[in-house]
């Protein structure tokens, strides 16, 4: 029996081409990484597909000889008609659930796929959306730290804590709130936003040593402002979906409060006159 060698070519982590036994096939992805088209070396379309949000094929034409389909160009491998292998575990598109518990549980929901938002998020590692959020938020700070080490720069531990620790902490708050209160929907987003607003405000003062809110109750002022930013914006959206007038009223109150805080907290330039806060 002859052995057939298959080579896959990727661009920025996305499967774009297959060469199987000398036959070339070109893949067309959509923004989520779904395989939407296959074309041969002459450019003729040999397969096309559309998917329901959780991966079941809505319609297709032609024949797909590859194991790639729903988010396949990011590595989701079709094991059977309704089961996908995604590195760390298996996903069933029929039940819309993982077949095994998330390795990151309890900070991630054990069986839920991308927090029930498959049209916006993917999970190429099978480790939950929060895993990728954490990588993205910590990556920049860790990259800067690595660059400083390679350049022989002095290690500033305060800078490390601010560049790496703070962004990671904010994402961890989101992950924990979602894991334990995610069923509350938009209200969970409000809770996470409010907590992150407070954390961000506290570390703004610690990391920058510069507070635009002077003098007097500067830290309290920033805390209140960021609490409103995190809480009231999403709360107005939540209430707006229930009652347009109520949501608009909360939004207007938010705008008035933040405007008042900003005007009270804005330090005046020397010689410019104006209101001196507190």
Confidence class of residue 185 from pLDDT cuts 50, 70 and 90? Answer: low
Query: Which of 86, 116, 146 finishes a domain?
Result: 116
Which residue segment(s) compose the domain that 186 sits in? 129-265
Q: Quick one: what percent of the chain has pLDDT higher than 70?
A: 56
Tokens of 158: 């305060």
Q: What pLDDT, in 10s, does the model give residues 54-87?
A: 999 999 999 998 999 999 999 999 988 789 999 8
Tokens of 86: 């995604």
Whether the CB-CB separation of 221 and 204 falls below 8 Å is answered with no
Which of 200-204, 245-249, 273-277 shows the highest mean pLDDT? 200-204
Q: What pLDDT, in 10s, does the model give residues 223-254?
A: 555 555 555 555 555 555 444 455 455 555 55
Sheet holding 35-40, edge to edge: 6-11, 14-20, 23-29, 35-40, 45-51, 57-62
Query: Which of 74, 91, 116 finishes a domain?
Result: 116
Residue 200 located in a structural domain: yes
Residue 230 located in a structural domain: yes
Residue 48 and residue 101 share a domain = yes
Buried b (16+ CB within 10 A) or exposed e, 15-35: beebeeeeeebbbebeebbbb
* DSSP one-letter code for 111: S
pTM of structure: 0.58
Q: Where are the alpha helices (DSSP H) in the chain?
A: 129-150, 157-160, 166-181, 186-208, 218-242, 244-265
Q: What pLDDT, in 10s, does the model give residues 1-49?
A: 678 899 999 998 899 999 998 999 999 999 999 999 999 999 999 999 9
Residue 231 located in a structural domain: yes
Tokens of 217: 């109750």
pLDDT, average across residues 170-180: 71
Instruction: Compute CA distances 196 → 190, 225, 257, 273, whole Å.
Output: 10, 12, 19, 34
pLDDT, average across residues 136-142: 69
Number of domains in the chain: 2
> Of 12, 134, 128, 113, which Cα lies nearest the Cα of 70?
113
Residue 82 and residue 183 share a domain = no
Tokens of 241: 């979906």
Residue 255 and residue 228 share a domain = yes
Residue 75 and residue 202 share a domain = no
Angular region, 80: left φ>0, alpha ψ -120 to 50, beta rest:
beta
Residue 21 located in a structural domain: yes
Query: Which of 88, 116, 144 finishes a domain?
Result: 116
Whether the CB-CB separation of 233 and 186 falls below 8 Å is answered with no
Residue 188 and residue 101 share a domain = no
Residue 150 and residue 84 share a domain = no
Residue 151 and residue 254 share a domain = yes
pLDDT, average across residues 86-96: 89
């Amino acid at each position: 029996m002859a052995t057939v060698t298959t080579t896959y070519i990727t661009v920025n982590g996305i499967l774009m081409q297959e060469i199987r036994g000398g036959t070339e096939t070109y893949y067309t992805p959509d923004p989520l990484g779904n395989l939407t088209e296959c074309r041969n070396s002459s450019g003729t379309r040999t397969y096309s597909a559309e998917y329901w949000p959780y991966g079941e094929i809505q319609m297709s034409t032609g024949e797909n000889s590859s194991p790639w389909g729903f988010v396949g160009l990011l590595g989701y491998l079709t094991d059977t008609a309704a089961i996908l292998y995604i590195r760390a575990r298996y996903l069933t598109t029929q039940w819309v659930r993982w077949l095994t518990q998330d390795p990151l549980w309890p900070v991630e929901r054990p069986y839920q796929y991308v927090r029930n938002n498959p049209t916006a998020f993917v999970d190429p590692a099978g480790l939950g959306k929060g895993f990728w959020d954490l990588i993205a938020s910590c990556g920049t700070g860790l990259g800067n730290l690595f660059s400083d080490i390679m350049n022989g720069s002095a290690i500033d531990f305060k800078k490390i804590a601010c560049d790496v620790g703070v962004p990671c902490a904010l994402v961890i708050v989101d992950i924990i709130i979602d894991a334990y209160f995610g069923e509350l929907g938009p209200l969970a987003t409000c809770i996470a936003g409010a907590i992150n607003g407070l954390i961000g405000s506290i570390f703004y003062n610690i990391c920058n040593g510069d507070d635009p809110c002077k003098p007097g109750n500067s830290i309290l002022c920033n805390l209140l402002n960021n609490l409103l930013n995190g809480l009231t914006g999403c709360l107005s959206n939540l209430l707006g979906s229930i009652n347009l007038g109520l949501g608009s009223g909360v939004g207007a109150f938010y705008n008035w409060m933040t405007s008042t805080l900003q005007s009270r907290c804005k330090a005046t330039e020397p010689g410019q006159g104006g209101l001196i806060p507190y």
